[in-house]
Amino acid sequence: MDTTTIIGMVSIIVAGFTITIGSIAPALSEGRAVVQALTAMAQQPDEANTLSRTLFVGLAMIESLAIYCFVISMILIFANPFWRQAAAKAGGGG
Amino acid sequence: MMTITPDQIVYCTRGALKLNATIVFAWAVMAALTLVAHLSTRRLSEEISISRWQNMMEVIVGGIRSQIRDISGNSSGRYVPFVGTLFLFIFASNILAVVPGFHPPTSSLSTTAALAVCVFFAVPIFGVAAEGLFGYLRHYVQPTPLLLPFHIVGELSRTLALAVRLFGNIMSGTLVSAIMLSVVPLLFPVFTDALGLLTGAIQAYIFAVLSMVYIASAARAHKANRR
């Protein structure tokens, strides 16, 4: 098995694992955040605007961790520098 | 070959300068925003009956001002130009992503990094303008000078987080729309485009609100607690 094959195989497997494992924790914590926000809105309906604004800001910050993992897996699949280098070397040499 | 950023779509090259899709569409969004703003504020009136365009402008500016006032307390006037422009530029470039042939400039890490660097420089500028140089530098050694490295690294990491958050959301929206077109072209790309609209609007709001929170925490008068 030559280097190009190994690079391609590992990139694909790791890209799959990255997005899978990386979105477990943000999903769970976003659920908890929404539960707390809904409870607070039920207790104080007058502050619903402030609560939902703070909720959205918090959700965006939690979401950004999942976005980091998504960006890494996209780079591994579509813009992989090691794959391009290996493919260029294989194409030029072979 | 699927390109994940519009940086790789090059229209023309002269020497070392490349005119890529990011620059073209960023300037297109700027031109569109400037044109709409200029045309709708040509004849402002203070009467009871105002034109529709002036009404729209007042709603937008009033909404931004009230949101900023909620975050920063009373002194919202000096932050509205900067934060409002951030919000409007990012909002326009994300919403126009559903137009066929439009590559949103915020789907390129260059644009989002540039916007985040603007916020990175705006925080000390507004902080020094509000409290003076030593008042602003004192933020870094409160509550104890041991936290100075954490403050500095925190500033750099939240700038990076701003850039990558916006880039990741918008790039993933356009990429998922493209993939959906190649897999199920009948009706489902419409839903992914709609989801892209929603996340684009939310991310524009998040970027502006986070910038305002960072600026407000740097420009706050001497209070015991910090955000």
Instruction: Inform me whether the pLDDT recorded for B16 exceeds 60.
Output: yes
Separation of CA A28 from chain center? 14
CB-count burial class (<10 Å; 0-12, 13-18, 19+) for B129: exposed
What DSSP character marks residue B10? E
Question: Which of the residues A30, A47, A57 would you substitute to probe the B interface, choosing the one with the greatest number of B C-beta atoms within 10 Å?
Answer: A57
- pLDDT, position B122: 93
Which of A61, A67, A78 is opposite residue B168, by nearest beta carbon? A67
Residue B85 lies inside a defined structural domain of this protein: yes
Instruction: Inform me whether the pLDDT recorded for B133 exceeds 90.
Output: no
Instruction: Give me the domain span that covers residue B115.
Output: 6-219
Instruction: Inform me whether the pLDDT recorded for B144 exceeds 90.
Output: no
Place B222 in a pLDDT band, splitting at 50, 70 and 90.
Answer: very low
Q: Where are the beta strands (DSSP E) in A1-94?
A: none
Render pLDDT for A47-57 as a digit per residue (tens, 0 to 9).
898 898 889 88
- pLDDT, position A45: 94
Contact B2 A78 (CB under 8 A): yes
Are B145 and B194 contacting, i.e. CB atoms less than 8 angstroms apart? no
Place A89 in a pLDDT band, splitting at 50, 70 and 90.
Answer: confident
Contact B206 A56 (CB under 8 A): yes
- The CATH superfamily label for domain A3-85 reads F1F0 ATP synthase subunit C (1.20.20.10)
Q: How far is A68 from chain B (nearest CA, A)?
A: 7
Q: What is the mean pLDDT of chain B?
A: 87
Residue B226 lies inside a defined structural domain of this protein: no
Residue B28 lies inside a defined structural domain of this protein: yes
Residue B23 lies inside a defined structural domain of this protein: yes
Residue A74 tokens, joined: 């996209």
Render pLDDT for B61-119 as a digit per residue (tens, 0 to 9).
999 998 888 888 776 788 899 999 999 999 999 999 999 888 999 999 999 999 999 99
What DSSP character marks residue B107? G
Question: Which of the residues A74, A76, A80 would you substitute to probe the B interface, choosing the one with the greatest number of B C-beta atoms within 10 Å?
Answer: A74
Q: How far apart are CA B38 and CA A81, in angstroms?
A: 45
Please give the tally of structural domains in chain B.
Answer: 1
Q: Chain A residues with CB-CB distance to B under 8 A?
A: 50, 53, 56-57, 60-61, 63-64, 67-68, 70-71, 74-75, 78-79
- pLDDT, position B2: 59
Q: What are phi and psi of B19, to 5 degrees?
A: -95, 100
Instruction: Inform me whether the pLDDT recorded for A27 exceeds 80.
Output: yes
Residue B1 lies inside a defined structural domain of this protein: no
- pLDDT, position A44: 94
Instruction: Inform me whether the pLDDT recorded for B227 exceeds 60.
Output: no
Residue B227 lies inside a defined structural domain of this protein: no
- pLDDT, position A93: 60
Q: How far is B169 from chain A (nearest CA, A)?
A: 7
- pLDDT, position B51: 82
Instruction: Inform me whether the pLDDT recorded for B145 exceeds 60.
Output: yes
pTM, to two decimals: 0.87
% chain A with pLDDT above 90 = 50
Residue B224 lies inside a defined structural domain of this protein: no
Render pLDDT for B48-63 as a digit per residue (tens, 0 to 9).
777 888 888 899 999 9
- pLDDT, position B125: 92
Mean pLDDT of all residues in A2-8? 88
Residue B21 lies inside a defined structural domain of this protein: yes
